[in-house]
Structure 1
Amino acid sequence: MKYKYQIIFLGSLGDLSEEIRTLFFEKVKELKLPIDSFVVIDDKNFQSKYLGKQPSFVFYFGDKEGNFKNVDLVDRLIKDGTLILPIYYNKEFFGTEIPKKLENQNGLLYDPTKKDKIINLALESFGKLRQTRKIFISYKRDESTSVAIQLYEALEKNNFDVFLDTHSIKQGEPFQDELWHRMSDCDVIILLNTPEFLTSRWCKEEIAEASAKKIGIIQLIWPEHKLDSTSEFCFPTQLYASHFEMEVFNDKNRSKLKQEFVDELVMNTESIRARNLASRQDSLITEFTNFAFSNGKNVTLQPERFLTEELGENKRRIFIPIIGIPQSIDCNQHDELRREINEFNIESIYLIYDDVRIREKWLKHLDWLNDYLDIKTLKKQNFNKWLQQN
């Protein structure tokens, strides 16, 4: 790869910045990304290492005393259009702890329980995690409506795009089709496993569907109930009366989880979202590779988690696994590979994706985009046929 991703640490550095750095590379390893595709820059090596035209993300750590550091470097980064995340410590003192040059940046109030969010913001900016952070809440209406709404509101507040049937499906839409469509595009499912949850045919199918698509499930098991059904990607938590306000857990309209548990759940959701991405990519890559080999294609998995097919005469085709539903913005972002991989003549780039349960109207839209965009999409059900013909 010609380009490297620049992780830049500026401001008042210390124990927190070192911890964020360590956690960042732990997450990179978890996502099975090559460590050497990232370069770490701080004020000591900035002049020798920083390249203005490389993808970059800056963690700027504020100072509680207002002794701002590296302001000259911040000025250069702003002119380069680099993404900068100011991190401050007291809710009322952003203007005191962060230099004026960064007052228009959307800063993050430091919370020790939300370090995963700090890391994921950087990975999202590099396209290593989806910028849309989609969560699906699965529940039985006549048992856990109040808790489902409570979690919906808490996750929305923390910048997740949350699907809850009562809030997310427009009138006039085919209910079950839209539900499956939204599930296929989510990162994590939060399943409220109440005593009668599995008596519903649809609830059982949701577990089966999530398991088949390898979507991570955070399963909350109600008090006086047990884990009856699980999947390979299930993260179960047994609830007790003490987890609920006033220990009321069996009233669909009044039951509420305690706030400290909800905060912890949001944090775990952030962590599992990233962890689950690699396993879903693995599944898609393996399926495509098996079809490619069976059709005599010479494909190779690159460290950056995309596949290349050698066509001879220094030409390549590239196949990039997309988790969830491809968007037109995915096509634009991945067109950058043409500039990054300069040692080969790239004939074409395809985004490969699992089309199961995606609504027909959206599949037709993706097919229509293929007629107009340089970056094409290729659905899983067509892998074998396409490889036979191309």
Structure 2
Amino acid sequence: MSLYELAVLGHPTEAQIQELQRLVAQVQDQFGFGSDEIALQICPASFRPNRRSCAAALFIGGAAGASFEITAVVDPKIVPVLPVVSSEKLVSAEVPPSLRALNCIFLDQVPMERLFSALLECVGLLPRQRRVFLSYRRVESTAVAVQLFAELSARQFDVFLDTHSISAGVDFQEQLWHQLSDVDVLLMLESPQYFASRWTDAEYGRALAKGIGVLRVQWPDTTPSPVTSTASRAELLAEDFLANGQLSDEAVQRICHQLEAVRSQSHALRTMSLMDAVRIAIEQIEGQVNGVGPGRMMQVTLRNGRRLSVQPTLGVPTAMTLQETLLRAGHDDCAVVYNHYGMMTSWQEHLEWLAKRVGGSRWVRQSDAAWDFAGWDAI
């Protein structure tokens, strides 16, 4: 199974296909992926990706695009589909009716590289979204933690390490939980006394509470804890350790490769879970989801007919999240749905302050989605 499943649908030209294949190869080289870790399907008869993979598709309609039976190939309510049109004037001629509710990308306005970047945004492959939290006991595994921090940073991961990532003069514990709530994977260095610390024990438990993927790097001769049975594991042997307490290059390569798989699957499952939560909330109040577009933005219609653009967002949302949502939404009212657990109170207050000053936008907590959408016009 590939970690990332991409598809080009519709009627792409041979030049467009070759350019996209070149860009995929470039990304594989950039992230150190094997040839099977990113799958690019060209005009498949059916695109039904595994739910444990991150998936997205481009629809390049061309002159015959309006009559293309898109729902026979892919379910645009589940898989993000980015409609690509020659120019703004040709939307009705090149895009099937079921995709016209989505914001299109115009080839006369953006280069192919930007189009491909939008596809990578959908599957969470852009560097700014590849976040890892290193959880470890300083008395046992600092040397390995620092080594992995450097190795993963070089691979374009955004790595949180407490000794490198928290500034002086801040509430250390509050900042720690805030950072944990903004990552894709908890990389836990399970040395013999890992669970003897209440802080590392809490880091592991709160990662589970947020649905964050966990990769256990298990020390030699360490008895696995019964509480970690659901976490992925990378087992270390005595010969993996060097005299300076760090790991061999081969061991680091194994960990990095497995981490990418865990991150990809975690990102896919958490995204689908959040989208399902939005879908259930909308249907609970007798609305409907019309489709999923760039960045996994969901186009919904409330019971009273009001149309909204809803952006499910993993991690800690920012002003940039709101800006991107507003740009994708066009003239629609929009909402950013997020999981607020672990976020600093001051940050949540900042988000509310920001939304009040930006017309047409709101922040919606995942836990309050049905309630907030049901009262959208009463707020």
Give the TM-score normalised by structure 2. Answer: 0.69
Percent identity between the two aligned chains = 25
Aligned residues of 2:54 and 2:265 also touching (Cα < 8 A): no
How many Å separate the matches in 2 of 1:188 and 1:135?
Answer: 5
Q: Tell me if the contact between 1:34 and 1:303 (Cα under 8 Å) persists in the aligned partners.
A: no
Matches within 5 A, 1:73-88: 80-83=110-113
The verdict on how the C-alpha distance between 1:196 and 1:188 changes in structure 2, with shifts beyond 3 A counting, is same
Which residue identity does 2:120 align to in structure 1? E
Q: Which amino acid aligns with 1:361?
A: S
Deviation at 1:245, TM superposition (A): 1.7
Find the aligned partners of 1:78 and 1:277 in 2 and give their Cα distance. Answer: 32
User: 2:170, 2:190 → 1: CA distance?
Assistant: 27
Q: Name the counterpart of 1:46.
A: none
1:371 aligns with 2:362: no
Are 1:193 and 2:183 counterparts?
no
Give the whole-Å Cα distance in 2 for the aligned partners of 1:312 and 1:366. Answer: 27
Q: Are 1:350 and 1:375, in contact at CA under 8 Å, matched by a contact in 2?
A: yes
- Counterparts of 1:171 and 1:257 in 2: how far apart (Å)? 30
1:279 corresponding residue in structure 2: 269
1:172 is displaced (CA, Å) by: 1.0
Matched residues in 2 for 1:10 and 1:225: separation?
49
Shift in Å at residue 174 of structure 1? 0.9
Structure of greater Rg: 1
Partner of 2:67: none
Residues in 2 aligned to 1:310 and 1:80: alpha-carbon distance in whole angstroms: 29
Q: 1:301 to 1:138 in 2, by over 3 A?
A: farther
What's the Cα RMSD here? 3.9
User: Where do 5+ consecutive residues of structure 1 fail to align?
Assistant: 42-48, 55-76, 86-118, 247-253, 340-345
* Alignment match, 2:324: 333
Aligned in 2, Cα 1:229/1:163: closer, same or farther, shift over 3 Å? farther
Deviation per CA, 1:227-286: give whole Å up to 9, x if none. Answer: 21455862111211021124xxxxxxx311111221232233233322211211233233
Confirm or deny: 8 A CA contact 1:216 1:233 kept in the other structure: no
Structure 2 match to 1:23: 39
The alpha carbon displacement at 1:209 in A equals 0.8
Distance 1:202 1:242, change over 3 A: same
- Distance in 2 (alpha carbons) for counterparts of 1:21 and 1:201: 37
Matched residue SS, 1:217: strand
Name 2:247's counterpart in structure 1: 257
Paired position in structure 2 for 1:153: 150
> Among 360, 371, 374, which residue is 2:345 paired with?
360
Maintained 8 Å contact 1:207/1:230: no
CA distance in 2, matches of 1:210, 1:156: 21
Instruction: Name the CA distance, whole Å, in 2 between partners of 1:375 and 1:52.
Output: 30
- The Cα shift of 1:80 comes to 4.9
Unaligned runs of 5+ in 2: 1-8, 29-34, 42-46, 63-82, 89-106
Measured after TM superposition, the shift of residue 372 of structure 1 is 2.5
Establish whether residue 322 from structure 1 lines up as the match of residue 318 from structure 2: no
Matched, 1:178 2:168: no
Aligned residues: 309
CA contact (8 A) 1:33 1:303 kept: no
**Residue of structure 1 in register with 2:214 after alignment:** 217
TM-score by length of 1: 0.67
5 Å matches for 1:1-390? 8-10=17-19, 19=35, 23-25=39-41, 30-31=52-53, 33=55, 35=57, 37-39=58-60, 80-83=110-113, 123-125=119-121, 128-129=124-125, 131-132=127-128, 133-230=130-227, 234-246=231-243, 254-294=244-284, 296-300=285-289, 302-304=291-293, 305-311=296-302, 315-339=306-330, 347-373=332-358, 374-390=360-376
Q: Structure 2 vs 1, CA of residues 245 and 4 (structure 1 numbering), >3 Å: closer, same or farther? A: farther
Which residue identity is paired with 1:185?
D
